[in-house]
Structure 1
Amino acid sequence: MSSEVVVVVENYGNIENPEQQNNQQPNPKGKKLSWQVLPRNDSLEMESRSYPRSSHGSKGPSPSRSVIMHLAFQSIGIIYGDIGTSPLYVYASTFSDGIKHNDDILGVLSLIIYTLTLVPLIKYIFIVLQATDNGDGGTFALYSLICRYAKVGFIPTQQAEDAQVSNYKLDLPNDNRIKRAARLKSYLENSYFAKLVLLLVTMLGTSMVIGDGVLTPCISVGGIQEADDSLSQDAIVGISIAILICLFMIQRFGTDKVGYSFAPIICVWFAFIGGIGVYNFIKYDPGVIKALNPKYIIDYFRRNKKDAWISLGGVVLAITGTEALFADVGHFTVKSVRISMCTVTYPALLLAYTGQASFLRKHNELVSKTFYKSIPLNAYIVVHAGIAVVFVMTLTSALLVLIMILIWKTNILLVISYVLIIGSVELIYLSSVLYKFKDGGYFPLAFAAVLMAIMYIWNDVYRKKYYYELNHKISREKLKEIATRTNLVRMHGLAIIYSELVQGIPPIFEHYVENIPALHSVVIFVSIKSLPISKVPVEERFLFRQVEHEELNVFRCVVRYGYTDVRNEQEPFDYLLVKRLKEYVGGGFSASPRVVQDDTSGEKLQSGGGDDEFDGVQEGAVEAIEQALRGGIVHLMGESEVVASKGAGIRKRILIDYAYNFLKRNLRQSDKVFDIPHKRMIKVGMTYEL
């Protein structure tokens, strides 16, 4: 029998569809949303200033040269496994129908050289890596940057104090490009369609990266049969599975150890393919150096026309895995990734492709096995390879253009140049890849579509549920009325009530008290908030506010996490929470009385008198918390269920009643995330009609 206590209090209500609000953030019941008044002194921040704050955009001390070189070495073992193994199949995929003209080899080599230079080197290494989110990269990092500079999110959880987190970087240049950025910002904030497109683009980019990770292991380990033709296909599959199992087993040791383990292997690989490239270049045809002239690209398209365009689907394989340069930068540093790319990966790849082109100039008929046949002495190495799609690179470019205009205030001519040069190259490659849609190109897109559907369903219903709670939150007058009822018993102990509502007291509290007229001596309303930044320092994670009436000992706490933060801290969550609460109650406010503003009315209230009186209040509050702790901690989890409102259409019923609730049943529960003991947990249930 489970020791978990479950209290189910049902409530049916209605909520207006937030999407019907003329592309604006929904404004429930005409109330002024809390985030609209936060610039006044109403926020949690005023009473949280006992925590030291770093300046905006503080990066801390720069790593030493030795550290950077170590990180550059490690990055070789983590980032370049995909792009580094592209020479295995690029020429074979490009010339799938054989080589029809010997100079076509020069045209393809020229395409490879300039593609490697424009996309991985210029775009990612020297442009995109400047758009990291406090050192973290990826599609979601770009979206989080945009979310911080413009209110493009769908849920009104913005708070003034969030901008003071030490890595919440908002350095705005002051020049004549600000007007253009302001116009774009205004458009993004006032257009529901633009917000939706941004969200969907981010979901698509994230889904494609996940899909690539799932599809990559499906690529067979090639080259083994070249070394030993006695091996059957089943044996090769078995070897592949064994390699994958080993890879997943060692991942738990962390990026640091995995990087050091694989870096020597990948370094040997790059030295291997680069050295063989030099050997083939000297032995077969040093004249392929002519491919540096882009004229051979034009000649290639003139000779082959549509076939040349189709062959771009093979050329683009030369830059598979490029997104890892940005997505994985959070494990290293921008400078270390630039060093490893410019000094090892880029030169080795150029030499490898150039050497293969030299070999093919003399052996056109061996194009299907270019890599293996061009290796002298039959030396083979087994590696992990995979194929990514060019979608993520194109989406990254689209988001980067927004960042150039909105955040960097880049000169418009440079923005146009970027779009015309790099953007057009990626679109051409994208069109070539889409041409092969029916030949299997649909599979990664279908996989990404499923992931996007899951993300969108969750986001859409969660938003509706959040607005329901925002519509029905408890005012300070109602809270005082509830807490001072004559039939309400104040029990000895401390209660932590969890809610998804960041602004105000959740409606689930009133229903709990109405059905169980008992309240602990100290109550903390906790809401978990995800900030559009990668990490929140632990010392800046908790924000507290005493709710109106000090004698009630009721507090609100917002616990803030970044999107890469891990919530299972070394210390128990409730221990950290209470520790920070005592620091807040007992710390640095004797200089001025507290100023509190209610979320609903916006009225400013002052409490406390002189310094002596306030110090007495502090000591009394700390003592009340200590006494409550001796009575034990109880965790009250809000378990809100959602159902489609009566008369809702079939689409809405499927979306809420089946799709969302199916996902919710398979979601990791909050009590497991925070490791809450079942003996100290009470679940309070409500049902919302959306």
Structure 2
Amino acid sequence: MENSNQQSDDEIPTDMNGRKPQKLRRYDSLDLESAKVNGQSGHGLQQGGSWAVILQLAFQCIGVVYGDIGTSPLYVYASTFPDGIRHRDDIVGVLSLIYYTLTLLPLVKYVFIVLRANDNGNGGTFALYSLLCRHAKVGLIPSQQVEDKQVSNYQLELPSGRLGWSTKVKSALEGSKTIKFILLFFTMLATSLVIGDGILTPCISVLSAVGGIKAATPAMTEERVVWISVGILICLFSFQRFGTDKVGYSFAPIICVWFFINAGIGLFNFIQYDPTVVKAINPWEIVEYFKRNGKDAWVSLGGIVLCITGTEALFADLGHFTVRSIQISTCAITYPALILAYSGQASFLRHHPGDVGNTFFKAIPGPIYWPVFAVAVMAAIIASQAMISGTFSILQQSLSLGCFPRVKVVHTSAKYEGQVYIPEVNFILMVACVCVTLGFKTTEKIGNAYGIAVVFAETITSSFMVLVMIIIWKRSILTVMAYVVFIMSVEVTYLSSVLYKFPHGGYLPIAFASVSMTLMFIWNYVYRKKYYYEMDHKVSPDQLREIAARSNLCRIPGLAIFYSELVHGIPPIFEHYAASIPALHSVLVFVSFKSLPISKIPLEERFLFRRVQSGEPRVFRCIVRYGYTDIRTDEAPFEKILVERLKVFIREECWLKSLQNQNQNQNQQRQQNNTNHDQLMENDGTEEYSKEGIGIKEEETISLNDDDEVEEEEEIEQLDKAARAGVIHLMGENEVVAAKGSSIGKKMLINYGYSFLKKNLRQQDKVLDVPRKRLLKVGMTYEL
């Protein structure tokens, strides 16, 4: 809606009943959706912190971040040599590949490069996409506006000598609608691959760990191992509703013990069997390996790449920790332990090549076999838990940006906001895990599928990182090319190998991703279409005054909260409501929930109000803004917080009005005494003018005149009276159909695909926890 009296959010001092003046913010127009957010810039420790705190976080993140990559020694060699070892030197060649893969991808790429591309302390694909949307107009989310850049959490572009190179690429992206769709597509694809990862990680981790029983007890058949694994998986998913906070940081000691066991056993086997495998440090061993095996060496890359499973967790789980803490834990514990573990297994295989199918458990010294087996099972469960929780978190982010169908998000921890539980998704993941375990039965077959999900997601991250380097970091062409040559080319090579295994199980994550992508595309497509429909048919101020002036419209006491997705005006369904039910409450507030492409927005800056109409009924618009990691449920009832924030808005509005009147009177007086202007300023000295317009010295006291004070008290009293009379929640129940003359594809997508999702998923009132006894739904059909 237009605002003829638009104001900037200047800060003004106030004097509440003679008290010391305070700074107030004035939000005069909801076309300026994104006013400044104060004091929040991500994780408080991202920019520093004491070493004691950093070291504590470094220890804690071991239990959350590294479970997946830490359990990869259970199955890497078995997946690399599914048909056995043909040449003893192949072991050294594979070990050399493992050395440099672990060094280039987890260590160099993620720990020292990608972690720096965090979004105010948060990581993951959506963090990179949000950064790009903020620095270039490449987003397709309809509620984004130019004024969003005023939010302090938006990172400002710094002066650079390479602006020309960056600006050209940025202009090319902003000028191509196709590229915008491609960016959103790959963001959704990465999310879908993470869902596939959340299915395959529990399967391969638990199955590998439980498979250790076969190495000690010949009577344990493969069928029994599979059913034991299924039982563990069902228990694992059944306990998800309690949240990882209950046992979260108790994971760290177990994973630490697991890493020390791996390092210790690896060092023992390295000394005991064949220390000469250390020659794998020489990269020429990789060349020799490819010379001996040719195409088979390239195919084996699909098994070697499993040594970096879970690497995305380094970035995705950044929001709970800090860059420095993850760097310390990786360099001090994770990386050395994995290098020793794989080196020890290679030394063992040089003397026992026939045991490659169960390398980890065969290489354990006899006296400590069962303790290590117990720790291995616990580590596998922890790895699965971390990946499942990560799946919930990334789906919450996609849900907040309108890229996923409505599901109920349960926040399981009051301390850690990122710990969420989604019942519907948890059940689907459990069923999928059980089916995959029963269908594939062996880690070798699951490994064929697992590799595609891992490498594809990492390649997408690298693609986004190239854009971040160019548009945001403004690096030189040589720097970007070095990243592409030394990092991205390695990932593309691994991706080509895992895609070769598509017929042998690699189709599974692609199938999972295709289903997820279809759901996300349908929902996001109709979401945007609905929004633009409401934009084109919104109720204008003149129409609102006409509706309020109708003679047949009766006024009833109470406060009505009308929910809408439209953030630019009053939705068309309101006119339909007024025509069907000719009654308006004394106070009416149009509430819209808006997700900004930033991670967090402080509670005190979350509610933005604007007065649409004064008098009876009093009509307000309210935008409730959230970041993509913010919680949508507050400790106090939503309606109570809304009323309190509305009172603050009314007080600020009255004080601003009084301030404007006082300044207007002072300006008129100055114009009348223009000849004595300099003398007046010197003697008075109680007023300053800023470039924005209004400024007042902090020691000056401003008081409301009697009329303004009476007006403020009356309006707040009317608001309290309306709230006491009863609060009713009005929600539009929109039916969407394809417009006449639409293509068959569009009709299928909207009339059948979207309608099916809407009927079988959570309704909006359940997602928002609206009290059902005070909920009134108003139906209307949109022709899109």
Q: TM-score range by the shorter chain?
A: 0.7 to 0.9
Question: In structure 2, what is the equivalent of residue 179 of structure 1?
Answer: 164
Q: Contact conserved, 1:56 with 1:169, CA < 8 A, in 2?
A: no
Aligned mate of 2:542, from 470, 477, 490: 477
> Structure 2 length normalisation: TM-score?
0.78
Letter in 2 for 1:571: A
Contact 2:6 2:29 in 1 (8 A): no
Instruction: Give the aligned partner of residue 343 of structure 1.
Output: 332
Q: 1:44 to 1:457 in 2, by over 3 A?
A: farther
2:760 to 666, 681, 684: 666
Q: After superposition, give the CA deviation of every residue in 1:11-32 in whole Å (9 maximum; x if it has no partner).
A: xxxxxxxxxxxxxxxxxxxxxx
Tell whether 2:427 aligns with 1:427. no
Q: Describe the SS at the equivalent of 1:410.
A: coil
For residues 401-440 of structure 1, the aligned pairs below 5 Å read 401-440=466-505
The one-letter amino acid paired with 2:720 is E
**SS of alignment partner, residue 420 of structure 1:** helix
Distance 1:611 1:147, change over 3 A: same
Cα gap change, 1:644 to 1:225, in 2 (>3 Å): same
CA spacing shift, 1:405–1:367, aligned 2, 3 Å: same
CA distance, structure 2, for counterparts of residue 544 and residue 257 of structure 1: 39
What letter corresponds to residue 316 of structure 1 in structure 2? V
Q: Aligned AA for 1:642? A: V
Deviations 1:238-296 (CA, angstroms, capped at 9, x unpaired): 43234334433554454444332222221111111111111111111111111111111
The 1:34/1:462 distance shift into structure 2, 3 A limit, reads farther
Does the 8 A contact of 1:76 with 1:267 survive in 2? yes
How big is each residue's C-alpha offset from its partner over 1:88-115, in whole Å with a ceiling of 9 and x where there is no partner?
A: 1212221223222222222111110000
Are residue 575 (structure 1) and residue 640 (structure 2) matched?
A: yes
Whichever residue aligns with residue 670 of structure 1, its letter is Q
Query: Once the 2 structures are TM-superposed, how far is the Cα of residue 588 of structure 1 from its aligned partner?
Result: 6.5
Query: Structure 1 unaligned runs (5+)?
Result: 1-32, 596-609
Residue identity matched to 2:163? I
Structure 2 match to 1:227: 216
1:122/1:72 Cα in 2 relative to 1: closer, same or farther (>3 Å)? same
Q: Post-superposition shift, 1:60?
A: 4.1
Who is 1:333 aligned against? 322
Give runs of aligned pairs for residues 359-370 of structure 1, distance below 5 A. 359-370=348-359
Matched, 1:131 2:113: no
In 2 relative to 1, CA 265–437 (structure 1 residues): closer, same or farther, beyond 3 Å? same
Q: Is 1:250–1:258's contact at 8 Å kept on the other side of the alignment?
A: no
SS in 1 for 2:734: strand
* CA–CA distance in structure 1, aligned partners of residues 69 and 141 of structure 2: 38
Distance in 2 (CA, whole Å) between partners of 1:45 and 1:156 is 22
Cross-structure match for 1:685: 779
Amino acid at match of 2:27: E
Aligned residue for 2:587, secondary structure, equals: strand
Q: Which residue of 1 aligns with 2:249?
A: 260
Q: Which moved more, 1:256-265 or 1:87-96?
A: 256-265
Question: Which one has the bigger helix percentage?
Answer: 2
Q: Distance in 1 between matches of 2:729 and 2:286?
A: 67
Q: Residue 248 of structure 1 corresponds to which residue in structure 2?
A: 237
SS at match of 1:640: strand
**RMSD value, Cα:** 2.7
Structure-2 separation of matches of 1:667 and 1:427: 37
Query: Match for 1:507 among 547, 572, 581?
Result: 572
Contact 1:543 1:558 in 2 (8 A): yes
Contact 1:91 1:315 in 2 (8 A): yes
* Per-residue deviation, residues 600-639 of structure 1 (Å, max 9, x unmatched): xxxxxxxxxx953544433332122112112111111011
Deviation at 1:39, TM superposition (A): 10
Contact 1:545 1:557 in 2 (8 A): yes
Cα deviation, residue 412, structure 1: 2.2
Question: Partner residue of 2:733?
Answer: 639
Partner of 1:398: 463
Please identify, of 338-347 and 146-155, the stretch whose mean Cα deviation from structure 2 is larger: 146-155
Partner of 2:275: 286
The whole-number CA distance in structure 2 between the counterparts of 1:489 and 1:346 is: 72
**Offset, 1:671:** 1.6
SS of residue in 2 equivalent to 1:587: helix
Q: Is 1:307 matched up with 2:296?
A: yes
CA distance in 2, matches of 1:44, 1:512: 31
Q: Give the Å deviation of 1:587.
A: 3.0
Residue 160 of structure 1 and its aligned partner are, at CA, apart by 5.6
* Contact 1:44-1:545 within 8 A present in 2 as well: no
User: How far apart in 2 are the matches of 1:365 and 1:447?
Assistant: 35
1:202 aligned partner: 187
The answer to whether the 8 Å contact 2:555/2:617 transfers is no
Distance in 1, Cα, partners of 2:27 & 2:142:
17
Q: Secondary structure at the match of 2:247?
A: helix
What's the secondary structure of 2:560's corresponding residue?
Answer: strand
Q: Distance in 2 between matches of 1:34 and 1:239?
A: 64
Query: What CA distance in whole angstroms lies between the structure 2 residues aligned with 1:356 and 1:79?
Result: 24
* Cα separation, 1, equivalents of 2:157 and 2:7: 19
**Structure 1 range deviating more: 114-123 or 638-647:** 638-647
Among residues 72, 89, 97, which one is paired with 1:103 in the alignment?
A: 89
| Matched AA of 2:511 | A
Report SS of the residue matched to 1:547: strand
What per-residue deviation string (whole Å, max 9, x for no partner) do you get for residues 452-483 of structure 1? 01000111111111111100011111111111
Aligned to 1:654: 748
Q: Which residue of 1 aligns with 2:420?
A: none
1:24 is aligned to none
Counterpart residue number, 1:70: 56
Distance 1:275 1:176 in 2: 51
Matched, 1:538 2:635: no
- 2:6 and 2:28 in contact (8 A); partners too: no
Deviations 1:196-247 (A, max 9, x none): 0000000000000011112223332321211223234444234323433443
CA contact (8 A) 1:76 1:259 kept: no
- Structure 1 residues 625 and 359: CA distance shift in structure 2, 3 A: same
Unaligned runs of 5+ in 2: 11-24, 385-449, 661-702
Q: How high is the sequence identity, in percent, across the aligned residues?
A: 60
Structure 2 residue matching 1:645: 3-state secondary structure: coil
Q: What is the identity, as a one-letter code, of the residue corresponding to 1:269?
A: W
1:590 aligned counterpart, secondary structure: helix
Alpha-carbon shift at residue 549 of structure 1 (Å): 4.1
Query: Measured at CA, do residues 39 and 309 of structure 1 come closer, stay the same or move farther in structure 2, by a change above 3 Å?
Result: farther
Q: String of CA shifts for 1:539-596, please: whole Å, max 9, x gaps.
A: 111111111545541100001112222212211111111111111112375245799x
Q: Deviations over 1:380-410 (max 9, x none)?
A: 4233267452110000000111111111112
1:492 and 2:557 matched: yes
1:324 corresponds to which residue? 313
Which segment is superposed worse, 423-432 or 75-84? 75-84
Call closer, same or farther: CA 1:462–1:568 in 2, change over 3 Å: same
Deviation (angstroms), 1:47: 6.8
Cα deviation, residue 188, structure 1: 2.0
Specify the SS of the correspondent of 1:638.
Answer: strand
Is the 1:488–1:517 contact (alpha carbons within 8 Å) kept by the matching residues of 2? Answer: yes
Contact 1:44 1:161 in 2 (8 A): no
Match of 2:731, SS state, is strand
439-448 or 211-220, which deviates more: 211-220
Seen in structure 2, the aligned counterparts of structure 1 residues 409 and 593 have a Cα distance that, compared at 3 Å, is: farther
Q: Secondary structure at the match of 2:454?
A: coil
- Measure the CA separation in 2 of the matches of 1:150 and 1:583: 35
Determine the structure 2 residue equivalent to 1:21.
none
Paired with 2:40 and 2:250, the residues of 1 have a C-alpha distance of 37
Verify the 8 A CA contact 2:729 2:770 in the aligned structure 1: yes
Q: Secondary structure at the match of 1:555?
A: strand
**Counterpart in the other structure of 1:212:** 197
| 2:174 pairs with one of 174, 182, 189 | 189
**CA distance in structure 1 between the aligned counterparts of 2:94 and 2:157, rounded to whole angstroms:** 43
Cα distance in 1 for residues equivalent to 2:309 and 2:322: 21
